[in-house]
Amino acid sequence: MEARKQRLVRRHRRNKRILMVVALPILVALDWFGSWGTAPVVLVLAWIAHEAWFSDHLFYSPRDDYRHAFPSDSFSLSVMLDRDGRVSPHGGAWPEEAETLVLALHVRSSWLGRCLDPHVLIGEGEGLDRQDFERGVNGVRFLNLSGCLPLLRGGQLRLRGRFCKLGREATLYGFSNPDYSRKRVMVLAPHADDAELAAFGLYSRSQEVSIVTLTQGEIEADFYRRLGLSDAAAARLKGRLRSWSSQTVPLWGGVEPSRCVQLGYYCMQLRQMEAEPAVACGSRESGDSDIRSVRRFNALKLPGDVDGAPTWNNLTADLAALLQHFKPEVIVLPHPELDPHPDHIQTGRALRQAIEQSGWQPDVQLLYANHLADNDRWPMGPAGNGVALPPCIEPLPADRLWCLQLDDNILLDKSQALAMQHDLQTPLPFKKRLRRFIQWCLAARRWPQAGEDEFFRKAVRRHELFWVRPFDR
C-alpha cells in the first residue's frame, strides 16, 4: 500500500509540473496580448478553483472500483433498484438476522457531481441517512445499510442519488455478530484520542472495558511554543496534557480511571524500538527518556516501571502484564492494512508478541481505521451521517464487519469527548480557514460547530465501523 501511494504521489507531482509548464506560456501570452492585469487575475481565479475543487488528497482515481472482500460464508444477495430507488431482492430472500449490512453498487457522478460532493440518501424522514463519495465517482462503492433490515423486508427502503446516478443491480452483504460490548473489551490506542475517535460508542456501553494508550503523543508541539516555551518544554507539556486526557476523558464515557492505563512511550519511536528491542528510544522532541514521568496515575504496577526505559522489550512486557490482568476477550486496535500510521501498525505488532509472552489468547480483534493512506477525507460528507466503507483499491484480507449504531445522545457525548482532547483544540491555520470558506461558498461543504479539527466531522457519525478478525490469523 505504501509503495502504491508513493507512486501515486510522484505521478501527482509530475502532473502538477506538467500543468505549470503548459500554463506558463499561456500566462505570458495573456500578458502580451491582453492587459497587464490579466495574468494576476487568472492566477487568483485558478488558485480559488484549486482550493474549492482540486485540493482533496486522493491517491487513486475516482473511477477505480472499491474491492472489498468478505469471507466465503458471508450472506450475500443480488438485489435490484427500481426507478424510485426502492430495493428489492432478486432471486432470493432477505437474511433472517443481520445487524450489519453493506450494499455494493455502481455509483456514477453527474456533471454537477464534479463540483459538488455526490452522495446517496438512504431512507426517508427521521431515519434519513447520507453517505458521500468522491467528486467524479464512477465505480463500485459500498453503502452502509446497517439497521435497515426491517425497512428492506417491508419494501420501504429507498435510495436516492444526488449529483450521481445509482446502478440498477447491486449486491447486499450481511453479517450477524454477537454484541461485543457485552464481552471483556480492551481498547488499544496508539495515541490519546484514538480510543475516542474509533470506539467511544463501544467503550461507553461496555460493562468490562480497559483502555491502554501506548504513547504520550508529544511531537509537533508548535502551538504550545506560544507560551514562551522552548521546543523541548513545549513537547513535554503536550505529552503531559495528552497523557492526562488519555486517562481522564474515558470517565466521560463511564470508564473508571483504574481501567485506563498510560504506558508513556514516545511518539513515532515504536518502529525504531522494535528494530533494537533492548535499546531505549527517547523522545525526538522533548528530550525525555523516562516513561515513568506520565505513569504516576496508573492504578497498576507494570514491568516498565522498574527502570522506565522506553524499549520494545518493556513495551511488550507491559502489554503482556495487562493482558494477564484484564483478560480481554475482544481487543480493539488499528487495522494493519488500512491505517498507515507507523505507531498504529507497530501497536498490532507489539500486541502479537505480548500475546505470546502472556499466554492469554483473546478471541477476536476489532480493527478500526482513524487514518487512511488513500483518502484523508474519509468518512466523507458532513458529521452525524453514516459511514460508508472506505476506499479499497488493493484487496484487503476477507474480514467480517461489525457496525455499531450510535443514537443522538451518544453522538453528543462523543463530540464533547473529542472537545476535551487538547490536541483536537488547536486553532486552524489561516490557509485552512480560507480554504474552508471557499469550499463553503463554492462547493457547499459544511463543518460541525463542536470543533474545528477535521476529526469532529469524520469521527462523530451514527456508525462506528470495525473489521472482525479472529486471532488465529
Among the ranges given (8-22, 276-290, 384-398, 443-457), the one the predictor scored with the smallest mean pLDDT: 8-22
- pLDDT of 394 > 90? The answer is no
Gap between the Cα atoms of 414 and 100, Å rounded: 21
- Residue 161 backbone class (left: φ over 0; alpha: ψ -120 to 50; beta: rest): beta
- pLDDT of 284 > 60? The answer is yes
pLDDT tens-digit readout, 24-75:
676 666 666 666 566 677 778 888 988 999 889 888 899 999 999 999 999 9
Residue 440 lies in a domain: no
Q: Which of 371, 398, 420 is the last residue of a domain?
A: 371
Whether 422 contacts 31, CB under 8 Å = no
Mean pLDDT of 409-428: 96
Residue 271 lies in a domain: yes
Residue 68 lies in a domain: no
Full residue range of the structural domain in which residue 33 is found: 2-54
pTM of the model: 0.93
Q: Which of 348, 371, 394 is the last residue of a domain?
A: 371
Residue 46 pLDDT: 83
pLDDT tens-digit readout, 176-214:
999 999 999 999 999 999 999 999 999 999 999 999 999
**Same domain assignment for residues 293 and 330:** yes
**Same domain assignment for residues 29 and 93:** no
**Counted domains in the chain:** 3
**Same domain assignment for residues 166 and 212:** no
Tell whether the torsion through CA atoms of 310, 313, 314 and 318 is positive or negative: positive
**Same domain assignment for residues 201 and 268:** yes
CA 468-469-473 angle, 5° bins: 175
Residue 418 lies in a domain: no
What's the maximum distance between 2 C-alpha atoms anywhere in the chain?
78
Mean pLDDT of 301-327: 98
**Same domain assignment for residues 289 and 355:** yes
Residue 410 lies in a domain: no
Residue 300: strand, helix, or coil: coil
Residue 200 lies in a domain: yes
Residue 134 lies in a domain: yes
Q: Which residue has the higher pLDDT, 463 or 46?
A: 463
Mean pLDDT of 382-404: 96
- pLDDT of 101 > 60? The answer is yes
Residue 59 pLDDT: 85
Q: Share the mean pLDDT of the chain.
A: 93
**Same domain assignment for residues 213 and 149:** no
**Same domain assignment for residues 332 and 214:** yes
Residue 404 lies in a domain: no
What residues form DSSP beta bridges with 60? none
CATH number, position 236: 3.40.50
**Same domain assignment for residues 131 and 10:** no
**Same domain assignment for residues 351 and 247:** yes
**Same domain assignment for residues 321 and 251:** yes
Q: Which of 124, 159, 175 is the last residue of a domain?
A: 175
CATH number, position 149: 2.60.120.260
**Same domain assignment for residues 96 and 162:** yes
The strand ranges marked E within 123-207 are 129-132, 138-144, 159-162, 164-175, 184-189
**Same domain assignment for residues 192 and 169:** no
pLDDT-based confidence at 164, cuts 50/70/90? very high
